[in-house]
Structure 1
Amino acid sequence: MTPLIAVAHGSRDPRSAQVVTAVVSALRERRPDLDVRLCFLDLNAPSVDQVLDAVAAEGHTSAVVVPMLLGSAFHARVDLPTLLDGVRLRHPHLHVEQAEVLGPDPRLIEAVRDRIVEAVAGAGDSGLGVILAAVGSSNPAANARTRAIAESVVAGTPWSHSVTCFATAAEPSVQQAISAVRRAGADRIVVAPWFLAPGLLTDRLGRAAESYGPDITYAATIGPHPGLIDVMLDRYTYTLAALRDYHALSA
């Protein structure tokens, strides 16, 4: 069985690792036949190198790495591929394939909607404004893709106002987004994190939002939502099929 290596970002906030661990536990419950292992890019253990070195030492010849990342920014495009290149050099018998990032996937959009409904009483109100809070990137194209997600969250709902804000590296800030949604006529506002787990950034966003008034609610992060488990398994399955096709062509 080709192991599924779930790679999370890592955080100094212990809640982040707890939620990510809960996600991986839910994945194992869904697919007890899979060998699922969790590792982190930074700040938490075990590291990517530690887990893949162990996989190689156990005699596995392949592994699928599923990044627990919502956007295709530096960590997905540079950081993780560089680590995997190092693994391939150390273990030439181990064929390691990196899957695509998780978002934006319709099932994760639905997960954000579910978190909004959980957070807001009377979520069927057409006067509800939605602010999608994301981390932000130094890559303008990545930010442009993230900005479009807020529109997807409100599509097909009664909610008529939506804006994406960023915690770092880009604008609008959460304060600017709140002002924009209020100008658009929202009666109430919910800030929905485009984050898998809570941490220092989500706390900062939450404090900034709450300082703007009692009509603002802060929803929970995506966490171990069934939609997230579905997406991770699909990324694994698709990449595993590509890996097997490669081996068949090379045989």
Structure 2
Amino acid sequence: MEEMVLVPLDFTRVCDSSSQMQGVLEAVRHNRPEVKIALANPIGPAVELLNILDIRLRNALSTIHATELDGLVLSVPDWGDTRGSGLIARRARQWAAHHRLPVLVAHADGSGPDVVTSIDSLRDIGRRSIAVGSLFVAPTDDYRQQAELAMSAGALAVGAPLGADPRIGELAMARYAFAAMELLDDESEAVTTSQAL
């Protein structure tokens, strides 16, 4: 293997990779110095994720035979980067408009209101049938903790993490292709420079 592209499956960042992902990149570069490595932009809160979010939440609601909702919480792992947090707020507004329900964002890392605070805020405005959609990749400890907190705060249901879905694969491939083109651009520049010498 001569080239590699790392694509962060991070739904809260758009431009800046997490420190954890930067650590992975450094470790790979250290252990495989002969391999050219590019780090793609994170997937971020792409609008396509709302469709997956709806499916996961509908499945959770159908399990308990819930028929009516009057409030939604969008649970996210963290604040993300500046552009990502702005897009998360936009996705929450789009989700609210689509369902014609109020939507509040909850942050699992304490960087903003948590899921209990968001549920309580919806109750303060008279909402009682509240469900939580989860913008998590997998059932991590943070996801499970947020789900337990939500249920103990009276949420009807919590949607499963987004998990494996072809649409996420398509988003990852798009990020991969863009980053791979940068590797090709680097090679072209190297060839042009060597020819000039």
Q: TM-score, normalised by structure 1?
A: 0.64
Instruction: Tell whether 2:70 aligns with 1:128.
Output: yes
**1:236 maps to 2:194:** no
How many Å separate the matches in 2 of 1:246 and 1:137? 33
SS of equivalent to 1:67: coil
How far does the alpha carbon of each residue in 1:195-241 deviate from its partner, in whole angstroms, 9 at most, with x for none?
A: 0111222222122221233x621111101122211111111122112
Partner Cα separation in structure 1 for residue 169 and residue 80 of structure 2: 28
Contact 2:61/2:156 (8 A) holds in 1: no
- State the Cα deviation string for residues 121-167 of structure 1 (Å, max 9, x = none): 48885x43110111224977765554443223333x23321001122
Tell me: CA distance 1:123–1:211, structure 2 relative to 1, closer, same or farther (3 Å).
Answer: closer
1:99 aligned partner: 40
1:194 aligned to 2:135? yes
Asked if the contact 2:13–2:83 (Cα under 8 Å) also holds between the matched residues in 1, the reply is no
In the TM superposition, residue 185 of structure 1 has moved relative to its aligned partner by 4.1
**Equivalent in the alignment of 1:181:** 122
Distance in 1 separating the partners of 2:165 and 2:61: 18
Identity of aligned residues (%): 21
Secondary structure of 1:104 counterpart: coil
| More relative contact order, 1 or 2 (CA 8 Å, 6+ apart) | 2
8 Å contact 1:76–1:101 — kept in the other structure?
A: yes
- Per mean C-alpha deviation after superposition, the further-off stretch among 181-190 and 79-88 is 79-88
Kept in 1: contact 2:76–2:106 (CA 8 A): yes
Of 146, 161, 164, the residue aligned with 1:224 is 164
Unaligned runs of 5+ in 1: 1-59
Partner of 1:78: 19
TM-score (norm 2): 0.79
Please, which runs of 5 or more residues in structure 2 have no aligned partner? 192-197
Aligned to 2:96: 154
Give the RMSD, CA atoms, in angstroms.
Answer: 2.9
Going from structure 1 to structure 2, the CA distance change for 1:71 and 1:139 (only over 3 Å counts) comes to closer
Q: Number of aligned pairs?
A: 188
| 1:220 partner amino acid | A
- 2-structure distance, mates of 1:226, 1:92: 32
Over 3 Å counting, the alpha-carbon distance change for 1:108 and 1:123 in structure 2 is farther
Structure 1 runs, 4 residues or longer, greater than 3 Å off: 85-93, 121-125, 137-149, 183-187
**C-alpha deviations, 1:159-192, integer Å up to 9, x for none?**
3210011222223121211122233443421111
Contact 1:129 1:181 in 2 (8 A): yes
